[in-house]
Amino acid sequence: MTMLEGRSVVVTGAGGGLGREIALDCARKGASLILADIDEARCAETADALKAEGFSSESHTLDLGDPAAIEHFGDAISASRNTLHGLVNNGAIATGIGGIGFRDVDIETFDKVMRVNVRGTWLITRALAPLLAASGSGRIVNLASDTALWGAPNLISYTASKGAVMAMTRSLARELGPDRVGVTAVAPGILTTASTEYVPEERHRLYETGRAVPGPQGPDEIVGTISFLLSPDALTLTGQTLPVNNGFVFN
């Protein structure tokens, strides 16, 4: 029996590089995938990638910055099933917001990042929590970032949002624990994805030379950890944030 066999998992931000790799790894380990992304075309590409490997999936267009859209998504998922086993809160604004000192970040950008990365994570969790509880072994994995652990400069809106995600993880673990829903977070560093191509070479070198395991790190190196955290065996880790960064930051 594979790790996630018989388990249904929602992945937000499934159209992106990391989201796609998470979905593929979960499917390879037996999960049934529900994909969600603001970019309908990219979400369809992930569905096609799954199909190419013989896996079926369900796709939804979802704007995490829109509470009504999240509510509609939750209603749609609830209408099609009685339980849900996993939620990966991967969708977030991560590009085009770095390289700016905290004095120069405009308020609208800061607020938009918070709406999507923090409020969106809370609302999608709230919408799907009843289904996760009904499964008796629900698991939520929040994508945080090690930038909030070591204090990356010139990235204030993103680091603040990911620090909030880690804090929510701890609180949600206590609130959902009585329903045997486990809530964890992973905190990657810079990964070799299209979303990090804009990051200055100096920052890439900082990670590549500062890791306990030197060199670049691809999405394929962290998705196995995420799949495990979605499994029944991961409940003992609830509330924890795991820095999955090859030893750049120790928590």
Catalytic-residue membership of 158: yes
Question: What HEC string does the chain produce?
Answer: CCCCCCCEEEEECCCCHHHHHHHHHHHHCCCEEEEEECCHHHHHHHHHHHHHCCCCEEEEECCCCCHHHHHHHHHHHHHHCCCCCEEEECCCCCCCCCCCCHHHCCHHHHHHHHHHHHHHHHHHHHHHHHHHHHHCCCEEEEECCCHHHHCCCCCHHHHHHHHHHHHHHHHHHHHHHHHCCEEEEECCCCCCCHHHCCCCHHHHHHHHHHCCCCCCCCHHHCHHHHHHHCCHHHHHHCCCEECCCCCCCCC
Name the active-site residue from 55, 73, 158, 228.
158
Residues involved in catalysis = 158
